[in-house]
Structure 1
Amino acid sequence: MRVTELINSTDKDRKFSFEVLPPLKGNGTANLFSTIEKMRDYDPMFINITTHHSEYVYKELDNGHYERQRIRRRPGTVAIAAAIQQKYSIPVIPHVICSGATIEDIEYELIDMQFLGIDNLLLLRGDKAKEDRMFTPTKGGHEHTTELIKQVNAFNNGIFADGTPIKHPCGIFHYGVAAYPEKHEEAPNIDMDMQYLKMKQDLGAEYAITQLFYDNRKYFDFVRKAREMGITIPIIPGVKPFAKLSQITVVPRTFHCDMPQELAAEAVKCKSDMEAKQLGIEWTANQCKELYEAGVEDIHFYTVSAVDSVAEIVRRIL
């Protein structure tokens, strides 16, 4: 079922979805499945599975020198998506990213997902590599999400990336994209950032999921401006509670979002991880209630390092 169909279903007034990471290379699925077990009783609408760029690591050799090697710390996005879908019968939406992937790599991902019956995607540019100062497209890959969208559109129309026809097309992919209520860090201003969102909609994006935010006014202003610009797709708010002291400063810096003064004033009073966690739960629960009361039909949770907090919030708001 398409995400827009899930959103528009009349089963419940308040819906939620959440994002998970594939396990680290060498780890099993126990922690991942534990996260899903904590959420599934509340009937999540769908689960996003992230995709991660490969990165360079330095391995010490026997002679004392170091050799630079490229590895993927969290492989297996497509396989994990299939495992979740099979085990829990919950709709899955794997991320497909430009970062670190060639056009051919992406095409093989699409083929694999068709074989597995996965037809909902989240299309993203992805983060820059850690060793790069600015985003650098992989040789033979895409620089922008719009290029990725065009590849998926061509695939949906029965055309491989090299222009040859797909002999036996089978089904099409539906996809969403990212949105940034406080603008993407690389965008010169919010207006230009929203123009790109409008372009993605016009190319075929069916919905958008926002970067996390703490101030609902930023989301409401963003949606209002989007509607004025002719962006009509659902804009699903993404939220994340901080769950320990370090995250109070790390999360806003990492995700380029501001704390409202009321939250910041309370955050600086926290003396322990437990106090920070409780503040994160209280603030985000109230944030979600306000969003629902304003007519939002789905809230998307980023669960990394905050699984127990998110589970408690979901229990309170549904």
Structure 2
Amino acid sequence: MTRPALSFEFFPPKSLPQSFRLWDCVTALAPLAPDFVSVTYGAGGTTRKLTHEAVQAIGAQTGLDVAAHLTCVEASRDETLGIAEEYRKAGVDRIVALRGDPPKGAGRFVARPDGFSGSVDLVEALAGRGFDVTVGAYPEKHPDAADHSADIEHLKRKLDAGADTAITQFFFEAETFFRFRDACEKAGIDAPIIPGILPVENWAGTRRFAEACGTSIPQVVADAFETAERDGGADLLATALATELCDDLLSGGVEHLHFYTLNKPDLTRDVCHALGLTPGVSLQNVA
């Protein structure tokens, strides 16, 4: 088995202590030689400046290929494309293009009259300007979608509009991803779809996140975390479950793993090490 590609997602810091945490996370995971790293964008574009600063700093200080998240919420077309061009000037040609969450309390997404109508419109504009565009994908039904088929149709429209690849929302069972991958193939989607992995740092927070984005939680996983938290073994359980999930995905032909780090590197690094992915070591070397 050849070494899979890796990528890591970070979020921009909002304070000096968070800046140190981000940098600690980047330096801890950089030796794993990720294919790229990405920096998120706050709801309603609230971290626009911070995202740009983090993208520039990581690229300049580490030489890593950095992808910048970009949304079209609460911004005109000119403002959004202006931000994209600022990234290009900073040497960033890879954009993770998302519709984005509306600002807190705003309810559902409403496009501005002078803004992009949604992610498909945004992808088409970015691809037309020569950016390498990655989009989001939902292996389970998006809360705003009519059904799962509508999700897949929407993903196909984004890829047809010029996106190169997709990264999924997190999930707990490999079969969830495999069913989604098969459904995408049936729909005529042949672009790479990268599974998103979330090692569970905080079970209560993960449950809230799962409910918000439509990720189903197997009862056995919920029960296991409730027991592990009582017994002080939550990190060990999180590492074991994420490692098993990644191993199942790799055995099923997955060639790239994308980790949502939450700017906390330890679990992600532990999972990679458990898979035999250490600096300078491939799966072939440990088989």
Q: Given the two structures, how large is their TM-score scaled by the length of structure 2? A: 0.89
Assess if the C-alpha contact under 8 Å between 1:53 and 1:100 holds in 2. no
Deviations 1:169-197 (A, max 9, x none): xxx21111000000211001010110011
- Return the alpha-carbon distance in structure 2 between the equivalents of residues 74 and 315 of structure 1: 33
Amino acid at match of 1:151: A
Assess if the C-alpha contact under 8 Å between 2:6 and 2:256 holds in 1. yes
Deviation at 1:138, TM superposition (A): 3.8
2:173 aligned partner: 215
| Map 1:135-214 → 2, pairs under 5 A | 135-154=109-128, 156=129, 172-214=130-172
Assess if the C-alpha contact under 8 Å between 2:127 and 2:133 holds in 1. no
SS for the counterpart of 2:268 is: helix
1:67 aligned partner: none
- Return the alpha-carbon distance in structure 2 between the equivalents of residues 253 and 192 of structure 1: 19
- Return the alpha-carbon distance in structure 1 between the equivalents of residues 243 and 34 of structure 2: 16
Deviation at 1:218, TM superposition (A): 0.9
- Return the alpha-carbon distance in structure 1 between the equivalents of residues 28 and 68 of structure 2: 20
1:101 aligned partner: 75
- Return the alpha-carbon distance in structure 2 between the equivalents of residues 182 and 28 of structure 1: 32
Deviations 1:79-119 (A, max 9, x none): 22121111111101001101122212112112212211211
**Runs of 5+ consecutive residues of structure 1 not aligned to the other structure:** 1-9, 56-71, 157-171
**Runs of 5+ consecutive residues of structure 2 not aligned to the other structure:** 278-287
Assess if the C-alpha contact under 8 Å between 1:215 and 1:259 holds in 2. no
Cα distance change on mapping 1:271 and 1:202 into 2, 3 Å:
closer
2:23 aligned partner: 33
SS for the counterpart of 2:69 is: strand
1:117 aligned partner: 91
Assess if the C-alpha contact under 8 Å between 2:25 and 2:264 holds in 1. no
Cα distance change on mapping 1:246 and 1:202 into 2, 3 Å:
same
CA RMSD, 1 decimal: 2.1
- Return the alpha-carbon distance in structure 1 between the equivalents of residues 100 and 263 of structure 2: 20
| Map 1:1-318 → 2, pairs under 5 A | 13-24=3-14, 29-54=19-44, 72=46, 75-154=49-128, 156=129, 172-247=130-205, 249-272=207-230, 274-304=232-262, 306-317=264-275, 318=277
Assess if the C-alpha contact under 8 Å between 1:24 and 1:75 holds in 2. no
Cα distance change on mapping 1:105 and 1:264 into 2, 3 Å:
same
Deviation at 1:237, TM superposition (A): 0.1
Aligned pair count reads 276
Assess if the C-alpha contact under 8 Å between 2:70 and 2:95 holds in 1. yes
Amino acid at match of 1:181: P
Amino acid at match of 1:31: R
SS for the counterpart of 1:279 is: helix
- Return the alpha-carbon distance in structure 1 between the equivalents of residues 17 and 113 of structure 2: 30
- Return the alpha-carbon distance in structure 2 between the equivalents of residues 74 and 119 of structure 1: 17
- Structure in which a larger fraction of residues adopt helix: 2
Cα distance change on mapping 1:248 and 1:81 into 2, 3 Å:
closer
Q: Given the two structures, how large is their TM-score scaled by the length of structure 1? A: 0.81
- Which structure: larger Rg? 1
Instruction: Flag the structure with more relative contact order, 1 or 2, with Cα contacts below 8 A and sequence separation at least 6.
Output: 2
Cα distance change on mapping 1:254 and 1:310 into 2, 3 Å:
farther
